[in-house]
Amino acid sequence: MPQLLLVSFIWAFSFGLIKGRLAGLDPIAVAAVRLAVASLVFIPWIHLKGVTPSLRWRLVATGGVQFGLMYMVYLQAFVHLQAHEVALFTIFTPLYLTLIDAALNRRWQLRHLAAAAVAVAGAAVVLWQRRPGEAVVIGFILVQLSNLCFAAGQIAYRRLRPEFPDTLSDRQAFGWLTLGGLAVTLLASLPATEWSRFRPSTEQMLVLFYLGSIASGLGFFLWAVGSTRVNAGTLAVFNNAKVPLGVGCSLIFFQETADIPRLLGGLILLAAAIWLAERKDQALGTPMASAKGD
């Protein structure tokens, strides 16, 4: 449990750092640099022996979606939203996990649709505090696309996990995922990023190094360790602990403003949607795949 609590606080500060310190930088370049640093963290543990080329490429493809596509649209959302809004809207990830899992296994239940409806209502409460037509709607859609990419990657990883040889651990496989994400962001940057103009300041480079090595690298590793030491109910609680923590950090430490009553109302509705969706499905696969590191 201490590992999960530490990671929740690490990820909670990431939202404000991205919005407050990396504003103005190309989101695709930021994603590429962050994943490059994360890959350096995991490369020493990459396992080649016993890993078939087919499994290796499927891990790379999974990482391309789960981290590459996810980070690109996720970071773009900060152009349109405040950090606490991005944090709040990441709460949909467990809901997408449940819905995708239900669709793949053809076991739809009425509560899944009810959870989706409650989630939409919760998002509407928060979005309603702004004037219609503002960029917040674009930001909201981008966060949902990132949530879908991350959820789809988690489901894919869960389906790949039984094919792992006994000598391959989650930590050893994770490098393939980050390399897949890095490959996608680098390919996307070729037509979209002017690297000659990507000149982050020293402070911004330190933030990028922190996000890649600590928030993504160390954070995912500690989450993997901590998630094996708690039951499914505790893991579900910590899975969304970063949402109120992230909102709080953005408001308190990064001086963002919000309509607090509406924010709390939306958060309560969103939390209720997740509870409704996960009431009988607390575990959707391998424990390490249950949280989105930001």
What pLDDT score does 111 carry? 67
According to DSSP, residue 179 is labeled: H
* Confidence check: pLDDT of 170 > 90: no
| Distance in angstroms (rounded) separating the CA atoms of residues 43 and 59 | 14
| Distance in angstroms (rounded) separating the CA atoms of residues 14 and 10 | 7
| Distance in angstroms (rounded) separating the CA atoms of residues 212 and 186 | 15
**Least confident segment among 43-47, 96-100, 133-137, 230-234:** 230-234
Confidence category of residue 278, pLDDT binned at 50, 70, 90: low
* Confidence check: pLDDT of 209 > 60: yes
Query: In this structure, are residues 66 and 181 in contact, taking their beta carbons and an 8 Å threshold?
Result: yes
pTM of the model: 0.83
What pLDDT score does 222 carry? 81
Who has greater pLDDT, 8 or 66?
Answer: 66
Chain-wide mean pLDDT for the chain? 81
User: pLDDT above 90 covers what percent of the chain?
Assistant: 35
* Confidence check: pLDDT of 143 > 60: yes
* Confidence check: pLDDT of 46 > 70: yes
Query: In this structure, are residues 266 and 89 in contact, taking their beta carbons and an 8 Å threshold?
Result: no
Model confidence pLDDT, tens digit, residues 155-168 = 888 889 888 888 88
Residue 39 has which token pair? 């890959």
**Least confident segment among 143-152, 221-230, 283-292:** 283-292
Which parts of the chain fold into alpha helices (H)? 2-21, 27-42, 53-63, 70-77, 83-89, 93-104, 110-127, 136-160, 170-192, 202-210, 219-227, 232-239, 242-252, 260-278
Model confidence pLDDT, tens digit, residues 227-263 = 656 654 455 556 666 777 777 888 888 878 766 776 6
